[in-house]
């Protein structure tokens, strides 16, 4: 196949990828969008095989590796529980990063195959593009591994900081530029290897100071990086599909990071520089006086809800941990049978990744037109009878509106306290991930339900 023809096919698959993202503008068109994505990928892969034309004996191995990888991927996709999506996505990001690194190394060792000049005298532009792709890929890889370990709970979610961290990171970043310059001027492979090692180190150091509650930002950011890495490699390989995709994914991740940061009212740099949870815990534990709370049991909760005419459910990460989404939907079904209006309110940063709660509710067969975003539903709390907060905490904290001293001051929160009564399912009075006490616990109209989210929801259903 001629180079021009294959370039046109790569362009087509790039366009199909754009349509794949476009499809996600509504659930109805989303499945079609995903199909476009698969089609685009199939075209890109087929064209690559056809454009190589003369096959070496390596072809069999290529197909075998493709098949093995595909089977592993398919297996994971069917087995993974929906609650583990954040870990899965972080894990997948690391794979994109690592394959970008591998392709870059391979191109560096064998530039003839990629039409980039010959070993030792690689074209300058290609060398720069290759270094960028490899460096960003390596950062994505090690960063995603750390994010994965933190999400899995293998590594503690609390931020790890040390003195001079920011200065050290800045020096490492500068050294990347210096190394790229040295690599280009000397063509020495040693600089290439050092560049890779430094990049792996940066990815690692960049993510360890970021706390568990900021994971939605981290995942989005790594999503963005994996895109830029792909684009860098795309420039090296002069491949339009890769360049388009890299740009799409890069900007997509950047927008998601922005939305997540806005959901927490924090600047991107504030999150990246990290150390949120650790810094606040010391201050909040000092001035804490004992305050009485009203606690109740499942019967009280069932009584309140039975006599309500509208209920708003506020799910959070705790619901995911307790796997309570199915029990929750059963409770809602029972409520609906009693002619009670039920809606769901979702905060942008509820859960550990963007849209995490929506997927869990969808898994439990909750129709998506009963689920509302913060801006859509926030005015309804004043007219609702009961707010049922399950596994959420910081996103309901009224201190974000009233207390300028609070570290979350200014963060948009759900106006749960405006409801006639608030039911708060929680295991204990311990503060949430941000380490801040929630005033809502001590309000007159709040009833605390101390129990596991799933068990409590089931008990309420029995009492309805």
Partner 1 sequence: MEIDPFIFRLSIFILSIFIGYYVVWSVTPSLHTPLMSVTNAISSVIIVGAIIAGLAGNSDDTFTTSNTLGLLAILLAAVNIFGGFLVTQRMLQMYKKKKKDK
Interface positions, 64-103, toward partner 1 (CB under 8 A): 65-74, 76-78, 80, 82, 85, 88-89, 92-93, 95-96, 98-100, 102-103
Closest approach of partner 1 to the CB of residue 451, in Å: 27
Calculate the alpha carbon distances from 250 to 138, 220, 224, 236, 255 in Å: 16, 10, 4, 17, 9
- How many whole angstroms separate alpha carbon 395 and alpha carbon 432? 10
Residue from 146, 241, 264, 342 touching partner 1 (CB under 8 A): that is 241
269: Cβ contacts below 8 Å, ≥ 6 apart: none
Cβ distance to partner 1 smaller for residue 101 or 205: 101
Alpha carbons 153 and 146: distance in angstroms, whole number: 11
Residue 64 token pair: 């075998």
The single residue among 40, 159, 277, 318 that binds partner 1, judged by CB under 8 A, is: 40
DSSP-assigned letter for residue 390: E
What DSSP assignment string belongs to 384-416?
A: -SEEEEES--GGG-THHHH-TTSTTTT-----G
CA angle 282, 219, 407 (to 5 degrees): 25
For residue 46, count CB atoms less than 10 angstroms from its CB and return exposed for 0-12, middle for 13-18, buried for 19 or more: middle
Min dist. Cβ of residue 140 to partner 1 (A):
10
- Which residues participate in catalysis according to the annotation? 394
User: Of 70 and 153, which CB lies nearer to partner 1 in the complex structure?
Assistant: 70
Smallest separation (angstroms) from partner 1 to the CB of 407: 25
- At its nearest, how many Å lie between partner 1 and the CB of residue 82? 7
44 touches partner 1 by CB under 8 A: yes
For partner 1, the binding residue among 12, 155, 259, 273 (CB under 8 A) is: 259
What is the distance between the alpha carbons of residues 324 and 455, in angstroms, rounded to a whole number?
Answer: 8
In the complex, the smallest distance separating the C-beta of residue 361 from partner 1, rounded to whole angstroms, is 9
Residue partners of 318: CB distance under 8 A and separation at least 6: 324, 390, 391, 392, 393, 425, 426, 427, 453
Token pair, residue 218, equals: 């981290």
CB of residue 221 vs partner 1: minimum separation in angstroms? 11
Decide: is 31 part of the binding site for partner 1 (CB under 8 A).
yes
DSSP letter (8 states) at residue 289: P
Q: Pick from 143, 203, 246, 391: which binds partner 1 (CB under 8 A)?
A: 246
- Binding segment (CB under 8 A) for partner 1, from list 60-68, 189-197, 287-295, 391-399: 60-68
Our finding on whether 182 is near partner 1 (CB under 8 A) is: no
Residues 122-151 binding partner 1 (CB under 8 A) are 125
CA atoms of 47 and 43, how far apart (whole Å): 6
Output 236 or 461, the one with its CB closest to partner 1. Answer: 236
* Residue 366 C-beta: closest distance to partner 1, Å: 9
Nearer of residues 77 and 167 to partner 1, judged by Cβ: 77
Q: Are 214 and 351 in contact (CB under 8 A)?
A: no
Hey, what are 140's tokens? 């994505």
- Binders of partner 1 among residues 362 to 401 (CB under 8 A) are 362-363, 365, 367-371, 373
Q: Find the binding residues for partner 1 in span 213-232 (CB under 8 A).
A: 219-220, 223, 226-227, 229-231
Contacts of 197 by beta carbon, 8 Å cutoff, 6+ apart: none
Provide the token pair at 302: 């069932």
d(CA 294, CA 334): 26
| Comparison of 159 and 354: residue with beta carbon closer to partner 1 | 354
Site for partner 1 in 350-369 (CB under 8 A): 353-356, 358-359, 362-363, 365, 367-369
Q: Based on CB atoms, which residue is closest to partner 1, 21 or 429?
A: 21
């Amino acid at each position: 196949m001629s180079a021009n023809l294959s370039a046109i096919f790569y362009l087509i698959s790039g366009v199909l990828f754009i349509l794949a993202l476009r499809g996600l503008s509504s659930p109805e068109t989303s499945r079609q969008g995903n199909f476009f994505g698969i089609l685009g990928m199939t075209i890109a892969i087929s064209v690559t095989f056809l454009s190589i034309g003369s096959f070496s004996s390596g072809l069999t191995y290529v197909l075998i590796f493709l098949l093995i990888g595909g089977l592993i991927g398919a297996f994971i996709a069917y087995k993974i529980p929906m609650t583990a999506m954040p870990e899965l996505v972080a894990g997948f990001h690391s794979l994109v990063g690592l394959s970008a690194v591998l392709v870059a190394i391979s191109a560096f060792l064998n530039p003839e195959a990629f039409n980039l000049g010959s070993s030792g005298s690689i074209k300058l532009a290609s060398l720069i593009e290759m270094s960028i792709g490899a460096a960003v890929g390596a950062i994505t890889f090690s960063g995603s591994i750390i994010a994965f370990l933190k999400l899995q709970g293998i590594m503690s979610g609390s931020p790890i900081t040390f003195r001079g961290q920011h200065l050290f990171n800045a020096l490492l970043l500068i050294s990347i530029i210096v190394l790229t310059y040295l690599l280009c001027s000397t063509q020495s492979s040693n600089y290439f290897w050092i560049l890779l090692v430094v990049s792996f180190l940066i990815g690692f150091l960049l993510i360890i100071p970021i706390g568990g509650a900021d994971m939605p930002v981290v995942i989005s950011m790594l999503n963005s990086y994996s895109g830029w890495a792909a684009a860098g490699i795309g420039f090296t390989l002069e491949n339009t599909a890769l360049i388009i995709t890299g740009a799409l994914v890069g900007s997509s991740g950047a927008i998601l990071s922005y939305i997540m940061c806005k959901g927490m009212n924090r600047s991107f740099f504030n999150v990246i520089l990290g150390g949120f949870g650790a810094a606040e815990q010391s201050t909040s534990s000092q001035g804490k006086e004992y305050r009485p709370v009203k606690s109740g049991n499942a019967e009280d909760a069932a009584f309140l809800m039975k006599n309500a005419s509208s209920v708003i459910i506020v799910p959070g990460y705790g619901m995911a941990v307790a796997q309570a989404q199915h029990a929750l939907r059963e409770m809602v079904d029972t409520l609906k049978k009693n002619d009670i209006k039920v809606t769901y309110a979702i905060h942008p940063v509820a859960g550990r990744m963007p849209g995490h709660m929506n997927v869990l509710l969808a898994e439990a067969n909750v129709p998506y037109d009963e689920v509302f975003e913060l801006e859509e539903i926030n005015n309804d709390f004043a007219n609702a009878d009961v707010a049922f907060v399950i596994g959420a905490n910081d996103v309901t904290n009224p201190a974000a509106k009233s207390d300028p001293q609070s570290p979350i001051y200014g963060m948009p929160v759900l106006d749960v306290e405006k409801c006639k009564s608030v039911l708060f399912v929680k295991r204990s009075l311990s503060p949430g991930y941000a380490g801040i006490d929630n005033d809502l616990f001590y309000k007159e109209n709040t009833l605390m339900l101390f129990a596991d989210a799933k068990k409590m929801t089931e008990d309420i259903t029995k009492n309805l």
